[in-house]
């Protein structure tokens, strides 16, 4: 309750977008919501400057993580990355949503272990704690 009004609104926006992302992922087939992530990119763009240290990116990441902690189902990495991507897009900050697969899961097709993370330029800004363990299979850009 002690947060400034702007931060409260960003926290509410995060919670709403997390709910929306969870609904899309849980209820609808991938083909019906994948367009909301942007086009698939072949490679990562090379930014002219490091934007991941700017305040809007940090604030967006913080609000998504805080909102996710208070939602009863504990949104996984994909809804978190989706919500953050949408929030950054509203703030005119380009990002890439990346999806990777754990290499041992490549052998057992029926037991895929997937992970989603978000990058802004060269920096991973969401879900980056285990990125090194995953092989990139898709990158959705702006």
Residue-wise pLDDT for 33-52, tens only, equals: 999 998 888 766 655 445 55
- In terms of residue numbers, what domain contains 28? 5-140
Most confident of 53-57, 88-92, 102-106: 88-92
pTM across the whole model: 0.84
Give the pLDDT band (50/70/90) at residue 15.
very high
Contact between residue 80 and residue 98 where contact means Cβ atoms under 8 Å apart: no
Number of domains in the chain: 1
* pLDDT beyond 60 at 60: yes
What is the residue-averaged pLDDT of the chain? 84
């Amino acid at each position: 309750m002690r947060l400034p009004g702007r931060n409260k609104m960003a926290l509410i926006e995060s919670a709403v977008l997390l709910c929306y992302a969870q609904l899309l992922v849980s209820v609808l087939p991938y083909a019906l919501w994948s367009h909301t992530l942007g086009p698939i990119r072949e490679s990562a763009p090379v930014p002219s400057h490091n934007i991941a240290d700017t305040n809007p990116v940090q604030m967006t990441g913080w609000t998504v993580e805080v909102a996710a902690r208070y939602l009863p189902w504990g949104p996984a990495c994909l809804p978190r990355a989706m919500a953050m991507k949408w929030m950054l897009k509203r703030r005119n900050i380009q990002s890439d949503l990346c999806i990777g697969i754990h290499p041992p899961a490549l052998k057992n097709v029926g037991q895929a272990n997937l992970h989603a993370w978000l990058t802004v330029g060269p920096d991973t800004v969401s879900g980056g704690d285990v990125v090194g363990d995953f092989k990139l299979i898709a990158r959705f850009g702006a």
